[in-house]
Structure 1
Amino acid sequence: MPTEEYVQEHLDRGTDRLGLQVYPEPDGVADAPVVVVWPAMGVRARYYRPLAASLRQAGLAPVVIDLRGTGASTPAPSRSSRYGYADLAADIGAVQEALKPRLDGRRRLVLGHSLGGQAALLHEALRPGDSTVDGVVLVAVGLPYWRTYPRRRLGVLAMTQSIGATSAVMRVWPGWSFGGRQASGVMRDWAHTARTGRFPHLDGVDVEAALREVRTPVLAISIDHDQYTPHETLDHLCAKLESAPLVRERHTIPGADHFTWVRDADGIAARVAEWSTTLP
């Protein structure tokens, strides 16, 4: 699948700026559903060019966002960065609002990969009854709760908590061998989910209770041989969505893992396009 060119745009969020990569509309499709892609931790938006090409081929209009502090989103995380999961969730709403002139009258999907998928669900949980999204797609997402891993559980616990502790002491995660450079608040919240299997309270909201009330349709896809979010971690996350219309699937992509599925995403893109036709 060839890669695609895009138009780089930006959205200011206080002292931070988000980078948006807007791809051309799919050929011959009027009012195509818009899919806003939110990446994994530390992964630049440009990595998703093959996925954008697959989505366009399937008749969808992709926009890919750089998470705060990554790629075209600036500044890079530092000791002065104060954001965490609540801010990542709020960024999703801000981008949906900024894209509103292009979204009106069209189906609006958010596709989250790994941390991007967590943020997408948190956005829905923190905005009850006020969603700007018609459907959420989770691909290779999971809550990294150490007890859900079929193997190396204690290793997962040790790694996640040491990263959380290092981030707290250094007031930033330098990105040593995992996740890229990240704000300490992001790693604090991530380590909490790995330790407890639950999201922390965010902005005074009991996120676990709020997730039980989310009613936005969700398509949740896990990938065989995913070393970071195996099937069980997504099952654990999906169990929190007691009210959402949920479609849970496991996909096999030969040779793919947590990251490389993006390079061979035609099947997933076609499935997302098919599922989008079922949304209100």
Structure 2
Amino acid sequence: MESSEFLARGDDQLALHPFPVDGAATLAVLWPAMGVPARYYRHFAAALNATGIEVVVADLRGTGASTPRPSRASRYGLAELTTDVEAVLDALKPRRAGRRCVLVGHSLGGQVCALHLAARHAAGLDPGVDGLALLAVGLPYWRRYPGRMGPGTLALTSTLALTSSVLGVWPGWGFGGRQARGVIREWAFTARTGRYPSLAGVDVEAALAGVRLPVLAVDMEADQYTPAPTVDHLTAKMTAATVERSHYSAAEAGSPIDHFTWARHGTPLAARVATWAAAL
């Protein structure tokens, strides 16, 4: 990983990790899953580099090299994570100039990328990017999980929301890393209701339906947190987008994979993303 760059966001500081490629026609801005540091994606970023795509991986607020760590004083939620996407894209304007730019998101990172596009549409603004790749990204609506996974998901998300409300922060006990209570509260809301809350006064549910952009949505084999029906639940909200749905198998990866480990066995997937991006 190259040396990190930092972007001030009020009292917070976002870390950006560039993986440059000389003469790259495409820039991919990659957003991680909840609690997963940017360094976890270095193998996948290198695989994208090998296809000729330049990459910048952004640490989510309070994760990895982004500071400070979430605490009882943290007041942010999904709305602030969404505006972080806008701020990073603005900071990367010199790198974006004259080339194709795509957002690539994993899990929560993919959700905030989609919400960023919804907010842009609601404001009557151009999306500012050429495409969105959702890798293991779905809405964790408990009714979209098979069998006992549904009630288990509802119980897990409700427990995290209650605990973070009582403690003032989610300490990261066994799941998701340390998180601001607002992030956990709104994430649990999506799991309970199957929809997003209004964010900063914006009806993002309605706005998602107006997003007109090519979207690549890939579910992963043996994904314990984002099975295929949850991916479909999210992409179904983007009725105006051109959505290409895909599946990444262990056979293609050459190794058993799940919600996280695909990123360490993602060379074939990187080639698929590159092919999709080149056609935008």
How far has the Cα of 1:24 moved from its partner? Answer: 2.4
Q: 2:86 aligns with which of 93, 106, 109?
A: 93
**Equivalents in 2 of 1:240, 1:44: separation in Å?**
28
Task: Give matches, 1:247-266, under 5 Å.
Answer: 247-253=244-250, 254-266=255-267
Q: Following superposition, which runs of at least 4 residues in structure 1 exceed 6 angstroms of deviation?
A: none
Write the deviation string for residues 172-225 of structure 1: whole angstroms up to 9, x where unpaired.
Answer: 101111000000000011000000000001111111100000112110000010
Question: 2:24 touches 2:52 (CA, 8 Å); kept in 1?
Answer: no
Q: Distance in 2 between matches of 1:138 and 1:49?
A: 18
Matches within 5 A, 1:203-218: 203-218=200-215
Following the alignment from structure 1 to structure 2, what is the Cα–Cα distance between the partners of residues 215 and 24?
A: 29
Unaligned runs of 5+ in 1: none
SS at match of 1:7: coil
Q: What TM-score results when the alignment is normalised by the length of structure 2?
A: 0.95
2:151 is matched with: 154
**Helix, strand or coil: the match of 1:127?**
helix
Partner of 1:139: 135
Inter-partner Cα distance in structure 2 for 1:238 and 1:250: 14
Residues 268 and 247 (structure 1), Cα distance of their counterparts in 2 relative to 1, 3 Å cut? same
Q: Is the 8 A contact 2:222 2:257 kept in 1?
A: yes
In 2, Cα distance between equivalents of 1:218 and 1:24: 24
Unaligned runs of 5+ residues in structure 2 are none
Equivalent residues of 1:143, 1:197 under 8 A apart = yes
Cα offset, 1:32, TM superposition: 2.5
1:50 is displaced (CA, Å) by 0.3
Q: Structure 2 CA distance, aligned partners of 1:266 and 1:172?
A: 36
Backbone CA RMSD of aligned residues: 0.9
User: Do residues 163 (structure 1) and 156 (structure 2) align?
Assistant: no
Is residue 21 of structure 2 the alignment partner of residue 20 of structure 1? no
1:151 Cα deviation (Å)? 2.4
How far off its partner does 1:274 sit?
0.6
Q: TM-score, normalised by structure 1?
A: 0.95
Q: Write the deviation string for residues 245-279 of structure 1: whole angstroms up to 9, x where unpaired.
A: 11111110230000000011111111111111221
Q: Does 1:107 align with 2:100?
A: yes
Q: Which residue of structure 2 lines up, in the alignment, with residue 201 of structure 1?
A: 198
Shift of 1:58: 1.1
Tell me the alpha carbon deviations over residues 15-52 of structure 1, each in whole angstroms, 9 at most, x when there is no partner: 100000011215xxx24200011000000000111011
Paired residue type of 2:279: T
Identity, % of aligned positions: 57
Q: Is the 8 A contact 1:7 1:23 kept in 2?
A: no
How far off is 1:132 after superposition?
1.7
Partner in structure 1 of residue 38 of structure 2: 45
Which whole-Å CA distance do the structure 2 matches of 1:118 and 1:168 have between them? 22
Verify: 1:181 aligned to 2:178, yes or no. yes
Per-residue Cα deviation, 1:122-166 (whole angstroms, up to 9, x for no partner): 000011133221111000111110000012211111111111111
Structure 1 residues 151-160 or 89-98, which shifts more? 151-160
Task: Give me the whole-angstrom Cα distance separating, in 1, the residues matched to 2:209 and 2:56.
Answer: 28
* Count of residues in correspondence between the two structures: 272
Quick one: distance in 2 between partners of 1:180 and 1:31?
A: 34
Matched, 1:84 2:77: yes
SS in 2 for 1:247: strand
